[in-house]
Structure 1
Amino acid sequence: MADTLLIDLFKEVGSIVFQVAKQEIELLVGVDEEVQKLQDRLGSIKAMLDDAEEKHAVKQRKEKLLLGKLQNQYYEMDDILDKWKTARIRAEIEKEEGKPADTNAPAVVKKKVCSFFPSPSCCFNLPLRHDVGHMIRELNEKLDKIFKDKETYGIDFDRQPDVVERPTTTSFVDVSQIVGRDINRDDLLKNLLGVGGQEETNSYCVISLVGMGGIGKTTLAQLAYNHLDVQAHFQKRMWICVSDPFDQCNVAKAIIKEVDPNHGPLNDTNLQTLMRKIQVLIKDMKYFLVLDDVWTEDSQKWEPFKVALKNVVHGSRILVTTRKHRTSEVMGSVHPIKLGVLSEEDCWSLFSKIAFSNEEQLKYLEDLGRKLASRCKGLPLAAKTLGSLMQNKRSREQWNKILDSHLWELEDIEKGLLAPLLLSYYELPSTMRRCFSYCAVFPKDYLFSRDQLVLQWMAQGYIESKAKMELEDIAEEYFETLAMRSLFQDFEKDEDSDGRIIGCKLHDIVHDFAQFMIKNESFEIDGDKKLEIDCQSVRHLHLKISKEMQCLESIDRAKNLRTLYLLSHEKDYEFEMLLLNSFQHFRCLRTLILDCQIVKLPDAVENLIYLRYFQMSGNVNIEELPETFCNLCNLQTLNIEDANHFKKLPQEMSKLINLRHLIFHDYFSRHNVVFPKGIGKLIGLRTLSIFNISDKDHREGCKLGDLKNLNQLRGTLRINGMANVVNVDEAQNAQLKDKIHLCRLELSFVGSRMENDVKVLNALELPPNLQYLLIDDYQGNTIYPNWMMSCTALKVLRLRCCFNLDHLPSLGRLPFLEVLEITQLYNVKKVGDEFLGIEDSKNEKDYDVIFPYLKSLQFWGLDNWEEWIGVGGMGEEEEEENPIIIKTLPRLQSLSILGCDELKSLPDYVLTAPLLKELEISSSGYGSWLLEDHYQRDGENWHKISHISNIKLGRVYVQRDGEPQFDSKSNDDQHNESGSEISDKDDVGACSVECVVDERVEVDNDEGPEIYEADR
């Protein structure tokens, strides 16, 4: 009996085992198909989430909970797919290296296992296939339950979207309630009334007020519209609230009604007819038209109005208020006025006017009121909304309660502020909304680097790919759109790159709003504050920690983190190890930013398999990365920022096959970081900010030829160690000419040899689209003209510390050169026709324009330069008689001659440049003052420069904006700026030395401070 029971039991167990085994085998075989289904379902869920957000469907508590669960499952699906893709990438890398794809099992065993399955692709990482199969099955079960709950609770995400109210504006305004816009008002009135402007040449011009929602654009427009001078200046004033969408017929009808209030019903929907009516009505009048709250960026919608609003009367004005710079541009604005925030005092004044009904109340609550007003951060709408909220609150207890709460927890504040910000937010595509919200990860007043921000967006997967477009270019478009829609402020620009925005900030209230939109996902935690986060839902964490912090164990539970910004100023080994050991818990990280004083990364960093963006900031003291770092096969960006201890990249860098950006910041322009040979295999690199050529003692290091296949490089490349290039072939092997996307190149020849430098430089074939070139410490005595003339797209050229050059290269024919700086060329004694590119100035023929686009020309530290002769080396009389027609420096605006103590005079062709408005001449303090003396106000050559608006001789402006700055006196009784007498040239020299030495020690340029020591 017992035997029978046992036999039956074994049969049943065997059947179960067989069924389980069968299911497992089906799971392994079908996982590729399931992964594809998951990919499709991920797209559907993303669309559902975006749709729910756009329709403002998150209202009821059950809806919020359901969408929260759906969002979590979205992230989980993304992680599973990422795990699958990562394993495939690793398999390819291991195949390339000749290793078995599954290192957990011997190759023979794998072969036997694979024979059970119909598809050879199933050999790929069996344990992973098993894990992914189970994950997908569990995930599908969770999703099925969520959709079942959706039906059970009757939640409808397909309902009509809630409409964010767009307030209709009018021209009426209470002038007494306006504060802090006097400068903007005066600027606007000047443009409206044509005060001090040029003679009117068009029938109308467009002026625009641009700024974020709630900044006061409409209020300022109302102020101008109702100004008495404006009323008297124009025959007709019209106020149209345009809003969004820009309905051409409705706008046209509104204009007609404003011009002729007695006009009958306008039932016509023919745009041509309406435009003709406008033309007839305004043909003989000078009008002022306000188009308030314009959103459209479609120039075609404005085109009919552009024509219809023209008439024979000059001086009409169209004032446009908009949040978008692009709108201002398409409407042809010639006077864009960007509105900034109010000052702290003006903001308080606006708040107090509304919040306090009497003087007694003001005194009683002023201290709390000022604190509340400061939270408005200069935003007029916030001051008005918060002031209105406080009107009926009389006790300090009530005011303290509001002061201690979060701004967005106050219902009345939310109603007042949320609508205008939501209008800007929901007008963005869903991809850009995620990019904007991501900015909340960083603390308030954080200065965003444009380049770093777009790379972090890429790391999070926010950038949707487009055919024939690089991800970086799409991300750049996103940034431009957000900037042009006034969601960023306080822009920093690179003047060497046509004013390109390189940095920006978020207004504090816009930052609060971004945080509000992802409040369950993004957190900022200070080390001395209580930890209050939902560890399962948090995805982005900015964590400032200290040894006293008691929350590290809690943070370990935040295993779904996708961004970790770790900030600490602690320097404690045990604490550091505790910190680093926590890394292994954050396996979903896409972005990791370290700003703490750690000295070593653990080998376990390889566990961060999804990592796309890794940044080491200023506090990090790491000297080299572990070899396991090279197992991060998804890594897109390695950003080493000002980490002055860093010495070496890992040898197996070639395994980072998805690396697109290898960034070292300015300090490294002179640093000897060892680059391994594998760099040359990273053909996907878009950014390689520096490339260090190793000397013969570093056999594992890079050679110049390793750049050969890196033809996707863009932006800036600095090549250090040109002295280590041993032959011409190596220079040619670099194939710089094939790097068509590279626009900036810096070549450093420190420690090189004269003869070799000339050959190597001449052998380099430069990128065809190069716009910026720096040559540093070149030891050759010549730069061949043909080589230099190959730089046909060059805009900026800097030659530094080329001590052996005895004459300047031919530069005058570079067609687009705008900035030329020549520094510390000690062997140059004479500058003549070769500099201009004129080979035979006595040949009777018309020459092209010389330096046709040059705007800024600077010479500094040419110690032995004695002579700068004019065109052809002729005197003035000879030049007048010479039939050669030469147009030189037609666009030159700024000329600086610093520390060129032996130079005696400047050629007339430079000083007579038609647009020259800045001239600076200063000695080094070590030699003579010949040039300064030559052009003093009381000297015989003053007449040659007196027409220049701004002239600085030594440390003193002798003329600014065309006006003399002090009386002409001899050097012996000249007074300095502080009023004390300068009695001799030694003292004058001391003043000059102070100025010039400052410039010499830290030359301020876009590469960052560079230290130079004169070899005297």
Structure 2
Amino acid sequence: MADALVSVVLEQLSSIIAQKVQKEVGLVAGVKNEVQKLESNFQAIQAVLADAEQRQLKEESIKHWMGQLKDVSYDMDDVLDEWSTAIAKSQMKVNEHPRKTIKKIQTLNGRIDGIVSEKNTFDFKLSEGEIKLPEHKITASVIDATEIKGRETDKGTIVKMLVSESSDQEPALRTISLVGMGGIGKTTLAQLVYNDHEVETHFGKRIWVCVSEPFDEIRIAKAIHEGLIGSAQNLNTLQTLLEKIQESISGKRFLLVLDDVWNEDSTKWEQLKNSLKRGCLPGSRFLVTTRKRKVADIMGCSSTDILELGLLSPDECWSLFSQFAFFEKNSRERENLEETGRKIAERCKGLPLAAKTLGSLLRFKRSRADWENVLNNHVWEIEEAESNLLAPLWLSYRDLPPKMRPCFLYCAVFPKDYIFRRDALIELWMAQGFLRETQNQEMEVTGGECFDALAARSLFQDFEKDEDDEIDGGPAESKIDSISRDARHSMVVFRNDDAYSFPATIHSFKKLRSLIVDGYPSSMNAALPNLIDNLSCLRTLKLSNCGIKEVPSNIGKLIHLRHVDLSWNEIKELPEEMCEVYNMQTLDVSDCSEVLKLPDNIGKLIKLRHLRVGYGDDSSFVKMRGFEGLGCLRELDVFHVTGSGEGCNIGGLKNLNHLRGSLMIKWLGDVKDPDEVKKAELKSKKNLTGLGLMYGSRRGRRVIRDDEILEALEPPPNIDSLWINNYQGIIQVLPSWINKLRVIRLHRCENLPPLGKMPFLEDLFVSWMESVRKVGSEFLGMEAAAGDDDSDISIGEMTASPSNTIIAFPRLKTLSFGQMREWEEWEGEGRRNEDKTIMPSLRSLRIRHCPKLKALPDYIYQSTTLEELRIVFSPILEEQFKEGGKGWPNTSHTPNITFQHNNMENTARMDGDVNAFN
């Protein structure tokens, strides 16, 4: 970590010097000398860091020296960040001046002098230069775990135990345990079994829960409930959760995997187990992974249901290692490296994780010298517990380019088995300054490459962090007290909602750069102002779903702050002082149902890159003005438009030309002037790929009939998906720009436009069209194609084959209808009716909650490409497609038909495999 921090400081210095700020600080005597001295010291330290990193594993004095260096580097980074911010604000004519930080630099230079002097006593070897990057760029390719060799016999044994028929002698709910040391492959084996096709089809429900420590019954019950119904709802008591779980498993055969169990208190497990027994079908199973045989015993496993995983045999270890190490290498390279490779595989001592990690490391090295450096590294000589696993992990970490190491180490802030989103993690890396923007590549892209590289090297375990470095609230107050006051990153976890107050001890961690709170502390609102006053070094403040009602105005004093997550709180508005946080990159107030407005001066946040304000209720609205200055924005999930001159104008989007991904425009009130819409200049936002149009609540609104508004939007040519929600006009003329779209979602609109004429449309989803009772030829666009010169329906010529056959929906692969409660008729024209062809590429048709629909059109019945038909809560259709029903002969050639009604799932087997509907 120290090497990366030194690099960050040097980059900060270079950035400041490059801004030619000598004029700004010229009045301070000797400042030029201080800066030169600082740069010289850090360059001298950087030259020996490679040797220091290696030797600190064995030499305690060097380890202590590295700790001092890390601390002073953090402090220097903060001072330089303060200086850089002051320079920028002074140039913006804000009341700031860089001279305020010069004395801090002088003080830190004195500390660094001592570190440099001590460095000279260690006789470090000078670095030979930059660590070489892989010979080719690391891509996102991750080897498929289902192809990993070494546990085929164990997998077969477990699968057989899970799917075997229940006997009268066995328990009502049988428990099977995988037991073994860390790194032996318990979780990987459980995943292979969980995803096995035979297991998947045998159990009606499968649930995976990461247990870890502590064994929290409420958290586990919530995870089980969410796995059963897709949502944990707002249930916080164990009894209520258990009752809901019993309802959900009634009449079902389920598999519950409890991964990484440590709990040895049987009373904590019995209540949950007894509840799961009630109502489930015979043949239901628990699959438990644990390091301790005693845990397996208290979970209720018989001796025959415990599989103790042993080390891989030498052949199995070599097979697993070589799968990764020789990936994408040719036969000559394999022959050249095999002898050294076999010696390295022996050092893995049969541990699958060690073989996988070292194999992933050597996957990117092609010279025998590089392989021998790994074989002969002194790290193998370290004598510590489980050193067989430590050495491969350390070697893989040390092989990372220095700029990637802090990104990986930062993940240690998350508790064991914490699941994070890839993009969210990248934003946290950005906030800490781990990712730098270049002229040719944005930070987000660099972060994505870093994540992919770490994944490809097997440093993420199934993209889940597996480090135990959490801080718990409540009972763990003593654990917090044991943490160093120099801690830089902290995550506070509250296991039970409203159970604990926010720990006051955190206020004394004055050097914290990251504070992430997971849970619902009861005193968060009272603690927040003092917390902000004390934690002046914060760069990340993540307080999602903490019951916050008001953001204190002193947040504007956090000059280093870059990432603020206040999502899922009860905030009504943000203080204007928030706009003083000059370095802000990410602001998330999504799913705050009470937010009514953003600060009027939000345009002052000129470095803001990610802004999230979305909320699921289509009647919600946030006042959004002053966006003209946010030219750095890369992400804006929703932009709210009032349509009136004094409110939020769509023209506010004009300068946001770096937006990427999807943008939702939410309209409140009628927008009548196409020229006003054109001011948004969406066509200039070349990185946008998706566009959503959400119109306000139907109540009290006039019907819109101006198709010119849609035409005036004119998104960029790269756009490939469109979502329209609650549009009350009659779409008669499709806008010309719609031609290239691949994906369309229509929700709560008045009519079905002639989408059959779209030449590139592949995926269409239609839902909640309450006024639609019949779907006919207008949907296909056939009427216009027949030659009616007076028709207003226009999107260009219908797609035609060389034989002049007109094709409707030529590339459509997936068609879905949902919640069409009044829909009765779907008119057909024949799949191939002389000069007409309809949906020749259709693969999947899904119909959900269409209770009045009587039949499918003939072009669906006659389809030879349809592979999947799903009918859910549509009883009239369901009756037809039961074997022997009148719709059965027409679709019996379809490989997979699934229907669901009255909470029961049924699957019909035809020519292909059966896939249960979820």
Question: Normalising TM by the smaller chain, what interval?
Answer: 0.5 to 0.7
Separation of aligned partners in 2, 1:838 and 1:325:
62
Separation of aligned partners in 2, 1:568 and 1:820:
36
Alpha carbons of structure 1 residues 899 and 560: separation in structure 2 relative to 1, 3 Å: closer
Mapped contact 2:643–2:650 kept (Cα < 8 A): no
Letter paired with 1:558: F
Is 1:725 aligned with 2:818?
no
Is 1:942 aligned with 2:897?
no
Match of 1:960 among 908, 913, 917: 908
Separation of aligned partners in 1, 2:786 and 2:460:
54
What corresponds to 1:813 in structure 2? 758
Within a 5 Å distance, the mapping from 1:740-751 to structure 2 comes to: 740-750=686-696, 751=698
Separation of aligned partners in 2, 1:321 and 1:577:
50
Separation of aligned partners in 1, 2:129 and 2:33:
36
Letter paired with 2:430: M
Mapped contact 1:542–1:564 kept (Cα < 8 A): yes
Alpha carbons of structure 1 residues 599 and 849: separation in structure 2 relative to 1, 3 Å: same
Match of 2:400 among 397, 415, 428: 428
Q: Secondary structure at the match of 1:90?
A: helix
Mapped contact 2:361–2:399 kept (Cα < 8 A): no
Under a length normalisation based on structure 2, what TM-score does the superposition of the two structures give?
0.65
Q: Mean alpha-carbon deviation: is it higher for 716-725 or for 824-833?
A: 824-833
Mapped contact 2:761–2:811 kept (Cα < 8 A): yes
Match of 1:604 among 554, 579, 604: 554
What corresponds to 1:797 in structure 2? 744
Gaps of 5+ in 2: 1-23, 132-149, 162-187, 198-290, 292-307, 347-353, 366-381, 788-799
Separation of aligned partners in 2, 1:176 and 1:657:
54
- Percent of residue pairs bearing the same amino acid type: 32
Within a 5 Å distance, the mapping from 1:284-323 to structure 2 comes to: 323=357
What corresponds to 2:217 in structure 1? none
Separation of aligned partners in 1, 2:808 and 2:32:
66
Within a 5 Å distance, the mapping from 1:432-511 to structure 2 comes to: 432-490=404-462, 504-507=463-466, 511=467
What corresponds to 1:851 in structure 2? 809
Displacement of 1:707? 0.9
Letter paired with 2:95: D
Q: Secondary structure at the match of 1:429?
A: coil
Mapped contact 2:580–2:604 kept (Cα < 8 A): yes
Separation of aligned partners in 1, 2:327 and 2:59:
28
Alpha carbons of structure 1 residues 291 and 907: separation in structure 2 relative to 1, 3 Å: farther
Separation of aligned partners in 1, 2:614 and 2:31:
44
Separation of aligned partners in 1, 2:890 and 2:324:
57
Alpha carbons of structure 1 residues 864 and 643: separation in structure 2 relative to 1, 3 Å: closer
Displacement of 1:568? 5.8
Separation of aligned partners in 1, 2:155 and 2:890:
46
Displacement of 1:756? 4.4
Displacement of 1:944? 1.1
Match of 2:785 among 814, 817, 840: 840
Displacement of 1:291? 13
Separation of aligned partners in 2, 1:840 and 1:587:
67
Separation of aligned partners in 2, 1:442 and 1:549:
21
Displacement of 1:670? 5.0
Mapped contact 1:243–1:292 kept (Cα < 8 A): no
What corresponds to 2:368 in structure 1? none
Mapped contact 1:718–1:747 kept (Cα < 8 A): yes
Within a 5 Å distance, the mapping from 1:14-413 to structure 2 comes to: 28=28, 31=31, 34-35=34-35, 38=38, 42=42, 45=45, 48-49=48-49, 52-53=52-53, 55-93=54-92, 95=93, 101-102=94-95, 125=97, 128-129=98-99, 131-152=100-121, 154=123, 179=154, 182=157, 219=312, 222=315, 251-252=334-335, 323=357, 412-413=384-385
Alpha carbons of structure 1 residues 839 and 662: separation in structure 2 relative to 1, 3 Å: same
The Cα offsets for residues 584-606 of structure 1, whole Å up to 9 and x where unpaired, read as 12111111112433322222111
Separation of aligned partners in 2, 1:240 and 1:899:
47
What corresponds to 1:556 in structure 2? 507
Q: Secondary structure at the match of 1:28?
A: coil
Displacement of 1:799? 0.5
Mapped contact 1:951–1:957 kept (Cα < 8 A): no
The Cα offsets for residues 482-537 of structure 1, whole Å up to 9 and x where unpaired, read as 223333345xxxxxxxxxxxxx4223xxx14xx5xxxxxx9666653313456453
Alpha carbons of structure 1 residues 253 and 702: separation in structure 2 relative to 1, 3 Å: closer
Letter paired with 1:795: R
What corresponds to 2:487 in structure 1? 538
Alpha carbons of structure 1 residues 65 and 920: separation in structure 2 relative to 1, 3 Å: closer
Separation of aligned partners in 2, 1:25 and 1:958:
76
Q: CA RMSD in A?
A: 4.8
The Cα offsets for residues 214-245 of structure 1, whole Å up to 9 and x where unpaired, read as 9999938935999xxxxxxxxxxx99996899
Separation of aligned partners in 2, 1:71 and 1:525:
27
Displacement of 1:89? 2.3
Is 1:767 aligned with 2:708?
no
What corresponds to 1:586 in structure 2? 535
Is 1:627 aligned with 2:576?
yes
Alpha carbons of structure 1 residues 903 and 245: separation in structure 2 relative to 1, 3 Å: closer
Displacement of 1:582? 2.8
Q: Secondary structure at the match of 2:588?
A: strand
Mapped contact 1:527–1:544 kept (Cα < 8 A): no
Alpha carbons of structure 1 residues 137 and 923: separation in structure 2 relative to 1, 3 Å: closer
Separation of aligned partners in 1, 2:845 and 2:152:
49
Displacement of 1:781? 1.0
The Cα offsets for residues 847-876 of structure 1, whole Å up to 9 and x where unpaired, read as 476534433211234455554444xx4x68
Displacement of 1:428? 2.0
Q: Secondary structure at the match of 1:136?
A: helix
Q: Mean alpha-carbon deviation: is it higher for 746-755 or for 794-803?
A: 746-755
Separation of aligned partners in 1, 2:68 and 2:755:
68
Displacement of 1:788? 5.8
Separation of aligned partners in 1, 2:784 and 2:635:
40
Letter paired with 2:89: R
Alpha carbons of structure 1 residues 145 and 957: separation in structure 2 relative to 1, 3 Å: closer
Mapped contact 1:863–1:900 kept (Cα < 8 A): yes
Alpha carbons of structure 1 residues 35 and 682: separation in structure 2 relative to 1, 3 Å: farther
Mapped contact 1:744–1:770 kept (Cα < 8 A): yes
Displacement of 1:741? 0.8
Letter paired with 1:135: K
Q: Mean alpha-carbon deviation: is it higher for 854-863 or for 79-88?
A: 854-863
Letter paired with 1:747: L
Mapped contact 1:488–1:505 kept (Cα < 8 A): yes
Q: Secondary structure at the match of 1:59?
A: coil
Under a length normalisation based on structure 1, what TM-score does the superposition of the two structures give?
0.59
Mapped contact 1:560–1:588 kept (Cα < 8 A): yes
Match of 1:824 among 763, 769, 773: 769
The Cα offsets for residues 357-404 of structure 1, whole Å up to 9 and x where unpaired, read as xxxxxxxxxxxxxxxxxxxxxxxxxxxxxxxxxxxxxxxxxxxxxxxx
Separation of aligned partners in 1, 2:359 and 2:717:
33
Aligned residues: 689
Is 1:753 aligned with 2:702?
yes
Q: Secondary structure at the match of 1:814?
A: coil
Q: Secondary structure at the match of 2:543?
A: strand
Letter paired with 1:505: E
Gaps of 5+ in 1: 1-23, 96-100, 104-124, 163-174, 197-213, 227-237, 259-288, 295-319, 332-409, 491-503, 516-521, 967-976, 978-994, 996-1003, 1005-1016
Within a 5 Å distance, the mapping from 1:629-778 to structure 2 comes to: 629-667=578-616, 671-675=620-624, 677-694=625-642, 696=644, 699=646, 701-721=647-667, 723-750=669-696, 751=698, 752-778=701-727
Match of 2:564 among 601, 614, 620: 614
